[in-house]
Structure 1
Amino acid sequence: MPYLLMLYVNEAGWSKLSQTEQEQGVAAYKAYTETLTKAGVLTGFNRLQGSSTATTVRVVNGKSQVLDGPYADSKEQLGGNYIIDVADLDAAISWAARCPTASHGVVEVRPVWTIPA
């Protein structure tokens, strides 16, 4: 069953890290991605640009409203995602706990609604 792991972090924290800490962070995500790949559960992943690049669109009374910025103003921002295909929620939670984000942010686990062919 496919699950989306949404990675939420405080974007401001990255710039406060030293160069060495940033390199260690990149290496941790690379290793995690390689582990998912070797396990055969990774089906996709994305790293997002900063929330300041977001555009929010909604339609009200038939007219588009376009706003700069993310949908929600919060302490943590959506920074990326992984899509994994695993047996069940317990397996997805186990993978989420191994994600580097879990140690400095939040990993939201959500099943993907699969549309029958």
Structure 2
Amino acid sequence: MQFLILIYAEEKVYDDMPADQLAEVMAAYRQLEDDMQQAGVLLSGAELAPVRTARTVRIRRNQPHFTDGPFAETKEALGGYFLIDCASMDEALKWAARCPSAHDGSIEVRPLMAPPPEA
């Protein structure tokens, strides 16, 4: 079963973090990624560019409208993801709990929908 680990954190926390501390966080992410690869569960993963580079598209009255950023009601923003393949939600949660951003942000674990059966 595939799960998406969505990593949310306040970008300002990382922008203001001392370089040596940020290096430790990034090393922890590299270790987590290596461990997931060795366990054979990692399918994909990426860090996202800052929210200030994002654009949002909405269609209203059949017209596209483009706005800056995601405009979420939270200070936390989606900063990256891992796509993993695990036997259960419990296993996926164990991997998610190892994300360094769980200490000052939040980690969402969401199963991917199975494709519909072919007719």
Q: Please, what TM-score do these two structures have when normalized by structure 1? A: 0.94
Q: CA deviation at 1:42?
A: 0.2
- Identity level (%): 38
Residue aligned with 2:35, SS: helix
Amino acid at match of 1:94: K
The aligned counterpart of 1:69 is: 69
RMSD of aligned alpha carbons: 1.2
The aligned counterpart of 1:30 is: 30
The CA deviation string for residues 77-117 of structure 1, in whole angstroms up to 9 with x for no partner, is 10000000000111111111111121221000000113146
Residue aligned with 2:108, SS: strand
> Quick check: 1:13 aligned with 2:17?
no
The aligned counterpart of 1:89 is: 89
Query: Distance in 2 between the 1:51 and 1:74 partners?
Result: 12
Query: Distance in 2 between the 1:85 and 1:66 partners?
Result: 34
Query: Distance in 1 between the 2:69 and 2:98 partners?
Result: 30
Query: Distance in 1 between the 2:78 and 2:114 partners?
Result: 23
The CA deviation string for residues 38-69 of structure 1, in whole angstroms up to 9 with x for no partner, is 00000000100000111000111111011111
Amino acid at match of 1:103: H
The correspondence of residues 91-106 of structure 1 with structure 2, limited to 5 A, is 91-106=91-106
Amino acid at match of 2:3: Y
The aligned counterpart of 2:3 is: 3
Q: CA deviation at 1:19?
A: 1.2
Q: Which runs of 5+ in 2 are unaligned?
A: none
Q: Which runs of 5+ in 1 are unaligned?
A: none
Residue aligned with 1:98, SS: coil
The aligned counterpart of 2:52 is: 52
Query: Distance in 1 between the 2:103 and 2:87 partners?
Result: 24
- Displacement over 4 Å in runs of 4+: none
